[in-house]
Amino acid sequence: MPIGGGEPRRVQTTGARMWLQGWHPNGQELLVVSAGGLEIAGDLGFVTVETAAFRRIAAIQGAAHARLSPNAAQVVFSALSTEDPAHSDIGLIDCATGHMRVLLSGPSDDYSPEWTSHSNSIVFISDRGGRRQLWTLRLGASGSNSCQP
């Protein structure tokens, strides 16, 4: 729907269900998770608003929570841990290559990551430290990361 008002427009897609994750900064694409259900593996990608064409980035869990970086180069996501499905882990996907790497995993439940206004840090909710609180993860250029409440 245009910000200034008007009629909403439906973006018709076919196939699997799509869960909206956010807008691309170009204003022409939507970041979505496409899967047959939340408990089923699916695909992360972009849907072009005009044509509804889907452009796949990488495989991802249907229930994943994904956010596009301000520069549209990476996607940070949380998904259920493969080691302990009662907890979520946080990962990072390169939009150009689809390469995925785990940022945070282990006994803590880390979820709902969001980018800050810069593309070098995210905030997320975690029970690390014994109680749920907001944490910041600074992404180092060489792959080194620092995490703090």
Q: Mean pLDDT score of the chain, rounded to an integer?
A: 88
On whether the CB atoms of residues 57 and 46 are closer than 8 A, the answer is yes
Residue bearing the bigger pLDDT, 47 or 129: 47
What pLDDT, on the 0 to 100 scale, is given for residue 36? 84
Structural domains in the chain? 17-144 (2.120.10.30)
Dihedral angle over CA of 27, 29, 24, 124, nearest 10: 140
In whole angstroms, give the CA distance from residue 49 to residue 46: 9
Under the banding of pLDDT at 50, 70 and 90, the label for residue 144 is: low
What is the pLDDT, as a whole number, of residue 141? 67
- Structure pTM? 0.87
What's the CA gap between 96 and 114, in Å, rounded? Answer: 20
pLDDT score of 44 more than 70 = yes
